[in-house]
């Protein structure tokens, strides 16, 4: 989450991601903490980039070097 903001609307704070409201909470500190935790979780789930081998579809054809 690189583009977020916390906006106060009345007695509540609204967390916006890319100008879209995603969370409404009454405490500014809690909303900031939740945004931090969410960003850490998203960063930790980012897997390594896929190699060219991952794009190859599985085949049911036999491997001539293994099976005569």
pLDDT over threshold 60, residue 54: no
| Per-residue pLDDT tens digits for 13-40 | 998 888 888 889 999 999 999 888 888 8
Check: CB of residue 25 under 8 Å from CB of residue 11: no
More confident residue, 45 or 35: 35
The DSSP line for 25-64 is ES-HHHHHHHHHHHHHHHHHHPPPPPPGGGGSPP--S--T
Could you tell me the pTM of the whole model? Answer: 0.55
Predicted pLDDT at 56? 64
Mean pLDDT of 48-67: 65
What percent of the chain has pLDDT above 70? 69
């Amino acid at each position: 989450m690189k583009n977020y903001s916390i906006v106060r609307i009345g007695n509540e704070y609204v967390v916006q991601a890319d100008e879209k409201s995603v969370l409404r909470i009454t405490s500014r500190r809690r909303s900031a903490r939740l945004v931090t935790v969410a960003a850490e979780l998203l960063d930790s789930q980012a897997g390594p980039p896929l190699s060219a081998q991952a794009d190859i579809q599985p085949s049911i054809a036999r491997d001539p070097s293994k099976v005569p």
